[in-house]
Amino acid sequence: MKLSKKHKIIIYGLLGLFSLYFLLPFVWVILSALKTQAEVFGFPPKIFPKVPQWHNFVDAWNSQPFGTYLMNSVIVTVMTTLGQLISCSLVAYGFARYDFKYKNILFVLLLATMMIPWDVTMIPLYMEFNMFGWINTLKPLIVPAFFGSAYYIFLLRQFLMNIPKDMENAARIDGANEFQIFFKIFVPIMKAPLILIAVLNILSVWNDYLGPLIFLQDQSKYTLALGLAAFKGVHTLQILPIMSITLVMIVPPVVVFLFAQKYIVEGTSGAIK
């Protein structure tokens, strides 16, 4: 299919317009973060800083325990990703490769949990974690991940359904037990969807604000998202540090996305069907 020149101009015009909406806010934040205090509040606004103030990043970083926040974010992100990979692959394998009593009911239940609004469970969960003595620790953010997440299980199961049954039957005849079959045959096959759910989990946990907001109290336990929001809440007019830390916070997910784009694009297809 070839397009006429007129069509091409229209398409590129639209692409350009939309790009402004998606890209300019990032550019403006970067430019703002590099200005001096006078420049950032000046009128009329100058687009470029006269001299880029790279030290803004260092100043901002040192003004609050952002190092601690970063460490907490990293711990939560790494641990939950580990938990999701282990639990979701086991559960998805169980649903995809076996027939058992109540399987369909259980699977529908699993899908149905995706519709439960967060508002309904947040209060009892808070009380439950309080009872466990987990409030103001990272545990409420980490432990549930070791019990799987409906959407990731669903994604993995869709993938596993498409693999012929001969795989495990051949291995069974060779004397492999069920967990050997899972680890030695299926885990390697699942590499691409496992990377996908790792990426999705990294993005959602790194960016999570509400979980940390409810379960954490001391600054020393804050994640980066919560720490940044709290800083912004107190120092509304400290635009330079706010912009600098925002940029720092954006970098990891953007990098992860750029590297894993292929998995996200491919994983999105067929997820719904």
Partner 1 sequence: MFSKSKKASSYQLVSRKVPYLFISPWIIGFLVFTLGPLAFSLVMSFFDWPITNAPTFIGIDNYKNMFTADPQFYKSLWITLKFAAIFVPLNLVIALILALLITQPVKGMKFFRTIFYLPAVVSGVAISIIWGWIFNSEYGILNYILSLIGIDGPRWLIDPKWAILTIVIASAWGVGTMMLIFYTDIKGIPAEIYEAAAIDGASPLRQFISITIPSISPTILFNVITSVIAALQQLTLVLLLTGGGPLKSTYFYGLYVFNNAFKHHHLGYASANAWFMFIIILVLTMIIFKSSSTWVFYENEVKKEGKKKK
239 binds partner 1, rule: CB under 8 A: yes
Q: How far is the CB of 191 from partner 1 (least distance, A)?
A: 19
Q: How many residues bind partner 1 (CB under 8 A)?
A: 95
- Among the listed ranges 43-51, 53-61, 159-167, 187-195, the one in contact with partner 1 (CB under 8 A) is 43-51
Within positions 57 to 86, which residues make up the interface with partner 1, using CB under 8 A? 86
Compute CA distances 85 → 82, 184, 201, 271, whole Å.
5, 16, 9, 18
74-103 burial string, b = 16+ CB within 10 Å, else e? eebbebbbebbbebbbbbbbbbbbeeeeee
Please report how close the Cβ of residue 63 comes to partner 1 at its closest, in angstroms: 16
Cα 72 to Cα 82: distance, rounded to the nearest angstrom: 15
The nearest distance, CB 153 to partner 1, in angstroms, is: 6
Which listed residue (165, 175, 218, 234) binds partner 1 by CB under 8 A?
175
Task: Give the residue with the Cβ less far from partner 1, 10 or 51.
Answer: 10
Site for partner 1 in 114-153 (CB under 8 A): 115-125, 127-128, 144, 146-148, 153
Nearest approach in angstroms of CB 268 to partner 1 is 5
Give the one residue of 34, 60, 76, 110 binding partner 1; rule: CB under 8 A.
Answer: 110
d(CA 168, CA 94): 13
Question: Which residue intervals of the chain are DSSP H helices?
Answer: 5-33, 37-41, 55-63, 66-97, 103-112, 118-131, 139-142, 150-161, 166-173, 178-180, 187-189, 191-207, 210-215, 224-234, 239-268
Q: Does 45 bind partner 1 (CB under 8 A)?
A: yes
Residue 192 binds to partner 1 (criterion: CB under 8 A): no
CB of 55 to partner 1, least distance (A): 20
To the nearest whole angstrom, how small is the minimum distance from the Cβ of residue 51 to partner 1?
20
Any contact of residue 111 with partner 1 (CB under 8 A)? no
Q: Is 143 exposed, middle or buried (0-12, 13-18, 19+ CB in 10 A)?
A: middle
